[in-house]
Amino acid sequence: MENRKVAARRAIEGVVVSDKNAKTIVVLVETHKKHSKYGKRVKYGKKYYAHDEENAAKVGDVVTIMETRKLSATKRWRLVSIDKKAELSIKEAGAELKEELLEAETVEENKEAE
Protein backbone atom coordinates (compact mmCIF):
# COMPACT_ATOMS: atom_id res chain seq x y z
CA MET A 1 0.00 0.00 0.00
CA GLU A 2 1.36 3.38 -0.99
CA ASN A 3 1.72 6.29 1.35
CA ARG A 4 -0.33 9.11 -0.11
CA LYS A 5 -0.59 12.63 1.18
CA VAL A 6 -4.15 13.71 1.75
CA ALA A 7 -4.78 17.41 1.38
CA ALA A 8 -6.38 19.17 4.32
CA ARG A 9 -10.05 19.80 3.73
CA ARG A 10 -10.98 23.45 3.52
CA ALA A 11 -13.55 24.84 5.92
CA ILE A 12 -15.36 28.07 5.09
CA GLU A 13 -18.01 30.19 6.76
CA GLY A 14 -21.08 31.63 5.06
CA VAL A 15 -24.78 32.45 5.29
CA VAL A 16 -27.55 30.02 4.34
CA VAL A 17 -29.59 31.54 1.50
CA SER A 18 -31.80 28.53 0.72
CA ASP A 19 -32.93 25.39 2.52
CA LYS A 20 -35.72 24.28 0.19
CA ASN A 21 -34.09 21.07 -1.03
CA ALA A 22 -34.17 17.93 1.11
CA LYS A 23 -30.90 17.52 3.07
CA THR A 24 -29.29 20.34 1.06
CA ILE A 25 -28.53 23.95 1.89
CA VAL A 26 -27.17 26.71 -0.32
CA VAL A 27 -24.49 28.76 1.42
CA LEU A 28 -23.35 32.18 0.21
CA VAL A 29 -19.70 32.93 0.97
CA GLU A 30 -18.65 36.54 0.50
CA THR A 31 -15.02 37.45 -0.13
CA HIS A 32 -13.22 40.70 -0.84
CA LYS A 33 -10.66 41.19 -3.56
CA LYS A 34 -8.63 44.23 -4.53
CA HIS A 35 -9.42 45.56 -8.01
CA SER A 36 -6.31 45.20 -10.16
CA LYS A 37 -6.51 48.63 -11.82
CA TYR A 38 -8.26 50.89 -9.31
CA GLY A 39 -7.20 49.29 -6.04
CA LYS A 40 -10.67 49.43 -4.51
CA ARG A 41 -11.84 46.41 -2.53
CA VAL A 42 -14.67 44.68 -4.36
CA LYS A 43 -17.07 42.23 -2.73
CA TYR A 44 -17.59 38.88 -4.44
CA GLY A 45 -20.03 36.15 -3.51
CA LYS A 46 -20.06 32.46 -4.36
CA LYS A 47 -22.76 29.91 -3.64
CA TYR A 48 -21.95 26.42 -2.42
CA TYR A 49 -24.34 23.48 -2.14
CA ALA A 50 -23.78 21.63 1.13
CA HIS A 51 -25.17 18.43 2.64
CA ASP A 52 -27.29 18.94 5.78
CA GLU A 53 -28.27 15.48 7.04
CA GLU A 54 -30.71 16.62 9.75
CA ASN A 55 -32.10 19.68 7.91
CA ALA A 56 -30.95 21.73 10.91
CA ALA A 57 -29.82 24.91 9.16
CA LYS A 58 -32.39 27.53 8.19
CA VAL A 59 -32.23 30.61 5.97
CA GLY A 60 -30.15 33.37 7.55
CA ASP A 61 -28.04 31.08 9.75
CA VAL A 62 -24.26 31.57 9.73
CA VAL A 63 -22.71 28.14 9.18
CA THR A 64 -19.34 26.44 8.69
CA ILE A 65 -19.05 23.98 5.81
CA MET A 66 -16.19 21.62 4.95
CA GLU A 67 -15.03 20.01 1.72
CA THR A 68 -15.90 16.36 1.27
CA ARG A 69 -16.15 13.76 -1.46
CA LYS A 70 -18.67 14.22 -4.27
CA LEU A 71 -22.14 13.66 -2.87
CA SER A 72 -24.12 14.54 -6.00
CA ALA A 73 -23.71 16.41 -9.26
CA THR A 74 -23.44 19.74 -7.42
CA LYS A 75 -22.69 18.94 -3.75
CA ARG A 76 -19.04 18.84 -2.65
CA TRP A 77 -19.46 20.29 0.85
CA ARG A 78 -21.04 19.21 4.14
CA LEU A 79 -22.38 21.14 7.10
CA VAL A 80 -20.00 21.13 10.06
CA SER A 81 -21.68 23.51 12.49
CA ILE A 82 -24.27 26.24 12.84
CA ASP A 83 -22.32 29.17 14.27
CA LYS A 84 -25.16 31.66 14.66
CA LYS A 85 -28.89 31.15 14.30
CA ALA A 86 -30.95 33.69 12.36
CA GLU A 87 -32.81 36.11 14.61
CA LEU A 88 -36.07 35.90 12.65
CA SER A 89 -37.35 33.40 10.16
CA ILE A 90 -38.43 34.73 6.77
CA LYS A 91 -42.12 34.33 7.65
CA GLU A 92 -41.72 36.22 10.93
CA ALA A 93 -39.72 38.99 9.25
CA GLY A 94 -42.34 39.27 6.49
CA ALA A 95 -45.17 39.48 9.02
CA GLU A 96 -43.30 42.17 10.98
CA LEU A 97 -42.69 44.20 7.82
CA LYS A 98 -46.34 43.90 6.82
CA GLU A 99 -47.45 45.22 10.22
CA GLU A 100 -45.06 48.18 9.95
CA LEU A 101 -46.35 49.06 6.48
CA LEU A 102 -49.98 48.90 7.61
CA GLU A 103 -49.17 51.08 10.61
CA ALA A 104 -47.41 53.64 8.39
CA GLU A 105 -50.40 53.73 6.01
CA THR A 106 -52.87 54.38 8.85
CA VAL A 107 -50.67 57.21 10.18
CA GLU A 108 -50.59 58.80 6.70
CA GLU A 109 -54.37 58.48 6.35
CA ASN A 110 -54.88 60.14 9.74
CA LYS A 111 -52.62 63.05 8.74
CA GLU A 112 -54.53 63.52 5.48
CA ALA A 113 -57.88 63.47 7.28
CA GLU A 114 -56.82 66.30 9.61
Task: Provide block-wise average pLDDT over 10 residues at a time, the chain (114 residues).
Answer: 78 94 95 95 96 93 95 96 84 73 77 70
Model confidence, pTM: 0.72
Cβ-Cβ contacts under 8 Å for 32 (sequence gap 6 or more): 41, 42, 43, 44
Q: Does the structural domain 11-86 have CATH classification 2.40.50.140?
A: yes
